[in-house]
Amino acid sequence: MDYSEDVNIGYLLDVFTTIDTDSQRVWDVCSYFVDHLSWHKPRLVLLGPKIEVLPDTHPSKPRCLFSLSDLYFSVGNCLDSKRLLIHTLQLWREQGDDSEVAQTSRGLSEVNRLLDLHEEGIKQAKEAFEIYERLNDTFGQAQSLCNLAWLLYEDQQLGAAEEAALQSINLFPVKVDPSLACRCHRILGKIHSSKDVDEIEKAIDHFEAALGIASFFDLPNEHFWGHYDMAELFFSQGRLDDAHAHVERAKSHTGNDIYLVGRAISRLGFGMGNAGSEKRGRRLCVPSMLMRRSGPR
């Protein structure tokens, strides 16, 4: 589907939702269309304001809000994404849908991580995990624990972060969601690299495990982040040749993703002494699969 087709579909759905605002089928199609944009061509659409003014009692409202929040997330607007997720969470709670409450809480935990609101994010990741545990949803538990591990790591709770990541890995086979396995190994690598110098080899082992999974399952994004993490580690160790080699490998997996190209360049600049570039990069709100039903990036 090219850009002009997306635009035409957007206008057509805008017309349909104007003619029949009560149709659940039309609004469900809108939700799928917004999901498509989030995944493939992130851009805001005319349907956004219409979704927000739907009555809270409309059966499609929470699903449409969730999709719209993911679209905001994909274009880098974490604040509006969070605002919509909070509303979505309220609606799912009112409907008593525990599975959707868990899914939305997990999405909120990731948004709050990117906003550096670690305490809030940790609480939401734990709530999601507890609900998934009650529902006997092993995969949901693993996803929530991975989110929790990243939040705890960024909150400097390294021991708890390591425990959560290992528990996530042990809950499901790699083939169920190799991207999730990559993220768990990457965070374990970061945890070990933040400890003593004696832990560096363990960090490298985890980063290499993530890269091995990415290679086996052909995951370009995970290839990028795996090499990016290795570059960070080697820069911190003063191994500049190894670091630059991983930056170049990371760049080879960016595809057409302008954000990833920018991160690779900023990493290169940071390694050469431009510390401000990494700090600015850390604050960016980036697209992630964590909020999406198919699993995290």
Q: Write down the residue that tokens 């609101």 correspond to.
A: 117
**What's the pLDDT at 173?**
86
Q: How many domains in the chain?
A: 1
Residue 220 belongs to a domain: yes
8 Å CB contact between 188 and 204: no
Residue 97 C-alpha from the chain's centroid: 23
Residue 234 belongs to a domain: yes
Q: In 3D, which of 90, 81, 17, 91 has the Cα closest to residue 50? A: 17
Full DSSP string of the chain: --HHHHHHHHHHHHHHHHH-TT-HHHHHHHHHHHHHHHHHS----THHHHHHHS-TTSTTHHHHHHHHHHHHHHTT-HHHHHHHHHHHHHHHHHHT-HHHHHHHHHHHHHHHHHTT-HHHHHHHHHHHHHHHHHTT-HHHHHHHHHHHHHHHHHTT-HHHHHHHHHHHHHHS-GGG-HHHHHHHHHHHHHHHHTS-GGGHHHHHHHHHHHHHHHHHTT-HHHHHHHHHHHHHHHHHTT-HHHHHHHHHHHHTT-TT-HHHHHHHHHHHHHHTT-HHHHHHHHH-----STTSTT---
Rg, the chain, Cα only = 20
φ/ψ (deg, to 5) at 286: -115, 155
Residue 201 belongs to a domain: yes
8 Å CB contact between 250 and 231: yes
**What's the pLDDT at 297?**
37
- Per-residue pLDDT tens, the chain, 297 aa: give them: 444 444 444 444 454 455 455 566 766 677 767 777 766 666 666 677 788 888 899 888 999 899 999 988 888 899 999 999 999 999 999 999 999 999 999 999 999 999 999 999 999 999 999 999 999 999 999 999 999 999 999 999 999 999 999 999 999 888 889 999 999 999 999 999 998 888 999 999 999 999 999 999 999 989 999 999 999 999 999 999 999 999 889 888 877 666 666 666 665 555 544 433 343 344 334 444 334 433 333
**What's the pLDDT at 40?**
66
Structural domain of 237: 173-297
- CA angle, residues 250, 252, 257, in degrees to nearest 5: 85
Residue 105 belongs to a domain: no
**What's the pLDDT at 168?**
97
Residue 207 belongs to a domain: yes
What CATH code is carried by the domain that includes residue 198?
A: 1.25.40
Q: In 3D, which of 21, 29, 107, 98 has the Cα closest to residue 66? A: 107
pTM: 0.81
**What's the pLDDT at 5?**
41
Residue 52 belongs to a domain: no
Residue 124 belongs to a domain: no
- Between CA 198 and CA 164 the distance in angstroms is 22
Residue 186 belongs to a domain: yes
Query: Residue 123: how many CB atoms within 10 A of its CB?
Result: 17
φ/ψ (deg, to 5) at 261: -60, -45
**What's the pLDDT at 165?**
98
